[in-house]
Amino acid sequence: MIATDGSVCSRLAANRGIELARLSGGTVYAVYVISTEYFSSMAVDFNWERMHEALRKDGCKAVNYVKGIGEMENVNVKCVLLEGHPATELIRYAEEEKMDIIVMGTLGRTGIDRLLLGSVAVNVVRHSKVPVMVVREKSKSEEKAS
């Protein structure tokens, strides 16, 4: 299972996940979670339907990216959109569907940034019974060193 949010980091993770599936002959489930956390903090008169549709379109774009690279590598990719709290839904889906591994990206935030912003990847790693491979985006200093 490749968890994606459409970010550069999740695209790096998708490339790694597709490669694993290609080598093992597996099927990939590209999963995007429409976060309902956004809705709970919005004003009552906010146009929820428009926001939901925008998030759904982002999700379709994210999973279709994974499907596209899977097609280039002859890997079968099934696209899945879920709704709820991202970490909770990713863990639930992976466990219910008996996934072999969850592949996901992280920005590699540390310290106060991680404390304030939280991290879907951290929560998935801490609470998932399914093994998790986290692909971290290289920092500017790491890119210069390589």
- Measure the CA dihedral 102/121/60/29, to 10°: 0
Q: Is residue 116 included in any domain, yes or no? A: yes
Domain range for 23 is 2-137
| Per-residue model confidence as pLDDT tens digits over 18-72 | 999 999 999 999 999 998 876 666 555 567 778 888 899 999 999 999 999 999 9
| Per-residue model confidence as pLDDT tens digits over 84-116 | 999 999 999 999 999 999 999 987 555 544 444
Q: Is residue 143 included in any domain, yes or no? A: no
Looking at the 3D structure of the chain, how many domains does it have? 1
Q: Is residue 54 included in any domain, yes or no? A: yes
Q: Is residue 144 included in any domain, yes or no? A: no
Q: Is residue 50 included in any domain, yes or no? A: yes
119: CATH: 3.40.50.620
State the DSSP string of 68-106.
HHHHHTT--EEEEEEEE-HHHHHHHHHHHTT-S-EEEEE
Q: What's this model's pTM, rounded to 2 decimal places? A: 0.85
Q: Is residue 84 included in any domain, yes or no? A: yes
